[in-house]
């Protein structure tokens, strides 16, 4: 996989234009810009200035101007058509503005190491849910990858914002490195002043902001000292999740209560010498309804949408699956589990050493299919996306198609006429190698933990799942992951302006939400989506993970209401004032519910900036390789109980 990825990226980079400076675009360059932050057209972001009234659940519809979006070196703006179908912005959206000379330490803004400060009465940055009146916790950072002249202020919610809610942002009492106050820009100063005449270019912006300023004042944020303020609306649940839940319901309805059709293509029995843990490997294909525009749904395909804006099926996709059967299942029925593979991987990851160990030690039949959209077959397309981001909508669209393959695989495992009835899944005695009556569970790692969070929110045949080294919100993850480096090189060539890059990440998240945990986290455990049972998940997080940032898992855990194993980490290991801030401790053992456990294998603490770790060994593989962690996973998947395997201490794992 890495060889193919590097080859695709090298070929793409050789065709890219050489890096050249891109002049800053003034906010007056397009009628779709917001004049109150002139550093870039779409700042501040997200922003209801970029929406229009509409007959939608939120009463708004995104309306990005085609000339206002970031453009690549070929001069092509990102086509906003797919974004403009949404009725609001991402529930995990980072908040972006440009504040020249800002020093966050001198200002007293809450850093990632002390999120609790964001809720102080006099906090210089206020994120307010206008529908509930609640302040939302966050951390603030300056883009550590950018030169000062194009450095964004990034405010990241510490738990996801509520679907469909209206929010206000206020930046106040900001300071430079010398501690001197930073005055607001000319446009915002005029908006804060007296009523402007109708023919003034800022009159409309002033009218739109006055209700926001009034709401902020009502909640104790006066106009005095304001540097900038704006409002935005989070997309509704239907806008973010409606396409996938419609596809799920439609696809399952076509089965008429039966099992999906499948073909077993190979059965390989292993001797104990060949593999002491796995007795049999089975490969096959599922026939899954195709909701994508191209026959067979290849990379680059987008969803086929009907007049109602919902996906419609035409033809089918052949979804490959791979299953591993533990040696113990030949004598005693195992438990059936889906397995979710990692970044740009394939179902063959189910053959990995840690998966075979989990199957052999604890009696699981693991079956995997592809996370289409971000699988091995998508590598060339995904690499090309970062040179022309108008092509991006195909990635989350195919991710949703891939979810249907997982749901069909779960149904095939659960149904009496499904896989358990096929001779390939029978022991020599004629008995099925797994007991479908025990139900189907899920175990995924890395991308399997990220996309697996979305799967757990929509699954009907799966009630429990383990999310291994998970996180959510790619707009947070990418800058913090060493895996993004080759894609970053392509992005740097095509969109070299660092301020544009942060806007790009925020835009991409709006669509990525439809195929990863960020858009579904609020419904993963409590508040289930329509037609969906409640679920429980166990999150296994790696301290100092160089591929999936620990902080992104913390945001997910807060959003789903997971209880935390305590002590979280040994004293002195974490730079945080309070590790796992905002998470309640597990109240007792064994615990029947969702939980998060941090596994420490001695890796260096993560950076406190939006940059990837670069020193020491990577802990990403360590939790799944640890026998105690696998035991905890097995008990949870089989019985729904979180047990203490760490002896009342912080959990540690041996380096893999």
Mean residue pLDDT across the chain: 95
> Which SS3 state, helix, strand or coil, does residue 455 take?
helix
For 564-577, what is the mean pLDDT?
97
> Which SS3 state, helix, strand or coil, does residue 413 take?
helix
- Residues contacting 531, CB < 8 A, separation 6+: 245, 249, 460
Q: Cα 550 vs. chain centroid, distance in angstroms?
A: 13
- Residues contacting 47, CB < 8 A, separation 6+: 34, 230, 231, 232
pLDDT in tens, 326-366: 999 999 999 999 999 999 999 999 999 999 999 999 999 99
Q: Rounded CA gap, 155 and 112, in Å?
A: 10
Q: Which band of pLDDT confidence, cut at 50, 70 and 90, is reported for residue 614?
A: confident
What would the DSSP string read from start to end of 61-101?
EE---TTTS-B-TTSPBPP-TTGGGSSSB-TTPPEEE--TT
Nearest of 123, 137, 151 to residue 40 by alpha carbon = 151
* Residue 18 scores a pLDDT above 80: no
Predicted pLDDT of residue 612: 95
Q: Rounded CA gap, 49 and 62, in Å?
A: 9
* Residue 16 scores a pLDDT above 90: no
Paired tokens of 49 = 């200035």
* Residue at token pair 């501040």: 44
Paired tokens of 319 = 């979804």
Predicted pLDDT of residue 292: 98
pLDDT in tens, 225-265: 999 999 999 999 999 999 999 999 999 999 999 999 999 99
Contact 447, 340 (CB under 8 A): yes
For residue 192, what is the enclosing H or E element?
A: helix 186-192
Q: Which band of pLDDT confidence, cut at 50, 70 and 90, is reported for residue 29?
A: low
Contact 95, 44 (CB under 8 A): yes
Q: Which long-range contacts (CB under 8 A, 24 or more apart) does 309-313 make?
A: 309/85, 310/242, 310/243, 310/246, 311/243, 311/246, 311/247, 311/250, 311/400, 313/247, 313/250, 313/251, 313/254, 313/289
pLDDT in tens, 549-559: 999 999 999 99
Paired tokens of 153 = 């202020």
- C-alpha separations of 553 from 86, 491, 547, 600 in Å: 26, 25, 12, 14
Q: Rounded CA gap, 551 and 114, in Å?
A: 12
Its pTM stands at: 0.96
pLDDT in tens, 36-94: 999 999 999 999 999 999 999 999 999 999 999 999 999 999 999 999 999 999 999 99
* Residue 23 scores a pLDDT above 50: no
> Which SS3 state, helix, strand or coil, does residue 116 take?
helix
- C-alpha separations of 354 from 277, 497, 542, 629, 645 in Å: 11, 41, 15, 11, 18
Q: Rounded CA gap, 316 and 41, in Å?
A: 42
* Residue at token pair 């390989």: 268
> Which SS3 state, helix, strand or coil, does residue 425 take?
helix
With vertex at residue 504, the alpha carbon angle to CA 621 and CA 3, rounded to the nearest 5 degrees, is: 40
Paired tokens of 180 = 């001197």
- C-alpha separations of 247 from 289, 407, 576 in Å: 9, 11, 42
Measured between alpha carbons, how far apart are the two ends of the chain, in Å?
21
Peptide bond before residue 44 is cis, with ω within 30 degrees of 0? yes
- C-alpha separations of 179 from 111, 113, 173, 186, 208 in Å: 17, 21, 10, 21, 32
Q: Cα 283 vs. chain centroid, distance in angstroms?
A: 29
Q: Which band of pLDDT confidence, cut at 50, 70 and 90, is reported for residue 31?
A: confident
Paired tokens of 102 = 């800002």
Q: Rounded CA gap, 46 and 94, in Å?
A: 8
Contact 99, 91 (CB under 8 A): no
């Amino acid at each position: 996989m890495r060889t193919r990825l590097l080859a695709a990226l090298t070929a793409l980079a050789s065709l890219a234009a050489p890096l050249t400076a891109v002049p800053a675009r003034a906010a007056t360059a397009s009628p779709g810009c917001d004049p109150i932050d002139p550093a870039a057209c779409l700042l501040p972001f997200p922003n209801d200035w970029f929406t229009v009234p509409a007959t939608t659940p939120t009463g708004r519809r995104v309306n990005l101007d085609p000339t206002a979006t970031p453009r690549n070196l070929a001069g092509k703006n990102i086509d906003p058509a797919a974004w403009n179908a949404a009725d609001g912005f991402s529930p995990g959206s980072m908040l972006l503005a440009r504040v020249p000379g800002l020093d966050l330490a001198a200002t007293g803004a809450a850093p990632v190491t002390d999120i609790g400060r964001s809720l102080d009465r006099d906090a210089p940055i206020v994120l307010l849910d206008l529908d509930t009146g609640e302040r939302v916790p966050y951390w603030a950072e300056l883009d550590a990858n950018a030169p000062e002249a194009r450095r964004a202020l990034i405010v990241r919610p510490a738990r996801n914002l509520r679907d469909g809610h209206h929010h206000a942002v206020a930046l106040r009492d900001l300071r430079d490195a010398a501690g001197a106050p930073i005055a607001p820009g000319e446009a915002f100063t005029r908006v804060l002043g007296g009523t402007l005449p109708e023919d003034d270019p800022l009159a409309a912006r002033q009218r739109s902001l006055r209700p926001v300023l009034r709401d902020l004042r009502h909640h104790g944020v006066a106009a005095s000292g304001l540097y900038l303020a704006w409002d935005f609306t989070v997309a509704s649940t239907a806008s973010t999740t409606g396409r996938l839940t419609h596809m799920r319901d439609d696809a399952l309805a076509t089965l008429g209560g039966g099992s999906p059709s499948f073909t077993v293509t190979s059965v390989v029995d292993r001797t104990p010498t060949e593999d002491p843990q796995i007795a049999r490997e089975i490969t096959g294909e599922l026939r899954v309804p195709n909701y994508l525009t191209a026959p067979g749904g290849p990379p680059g395909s987008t969803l086929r949408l009907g007049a109602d804006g919902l996906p419609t099926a035409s033809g089918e996709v052949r979804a490959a699956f791979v299953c591993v059967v533990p040696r113990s299942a030949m004598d005693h029925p195992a438990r059936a589990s889906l397995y979710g593979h990692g970044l740009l991987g394939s179902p063959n990851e189910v053959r990995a050493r840690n998966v075979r160990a989990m199957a052999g030690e604890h009696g699981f039949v693991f079956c995997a299919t592809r996370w289409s959209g971000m699988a091995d077959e998508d590598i060339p397309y995904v690499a090309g996306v970062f040179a022309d981001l108008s092509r991006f909508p195909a990635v989350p669209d195919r991710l949703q198609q891939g979810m249907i393959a997982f749901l069909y695989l779960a149904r095939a495992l659960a149904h009496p006429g499904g896989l358990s009835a096929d001779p390939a899944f029978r022991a020599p005695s004629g008995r099925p190698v797994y007991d479908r009556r025990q139900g189907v569970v899920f175990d995924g790692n890395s991308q399997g933990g990220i996309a697996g969070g979305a799967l757990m929110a929509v699954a009907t045949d799966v009630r429990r799942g383990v999310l291994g080294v998970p996180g959510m919100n790619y707009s947070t993850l990418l800058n913090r992951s060493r895996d993004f480096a080759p894609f970053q090189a392509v992005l740097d060539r095509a969109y070299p302006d660092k301020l544009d890059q942060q806007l790009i990440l925020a835009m991409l998240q709006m669509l990525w939400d439809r195929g990863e945990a960020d858009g579904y986290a609020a419904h993963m455990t409590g508040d289930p989506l329509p037609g969906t049972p409640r679920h429980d998940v166990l999150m296994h997080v790696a301290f100092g993970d160089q591929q999936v940032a620990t902080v992104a898992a913390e945001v997910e855990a807060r959003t789903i209401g997971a209880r935390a194993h305590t002590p979280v980490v040994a004293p002195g290991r974490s730079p945080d004032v309070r590790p796992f801030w905002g998470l309640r401790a597990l109240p007792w053992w064994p615990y029947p519910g969702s939980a998060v456990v941090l596994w420490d294998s001695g890796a260096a603490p993560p950076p406190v900036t939006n940059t990837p770790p670069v020193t020491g060994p990577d802990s990403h593989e360590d939790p799944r390789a640890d026998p105690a962690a696998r035991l905890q996973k097995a008990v949870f998947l089989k019985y729904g109980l979180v047990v203490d395997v760490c002896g009342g201490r912080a959990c540690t794992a041996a380096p893999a």
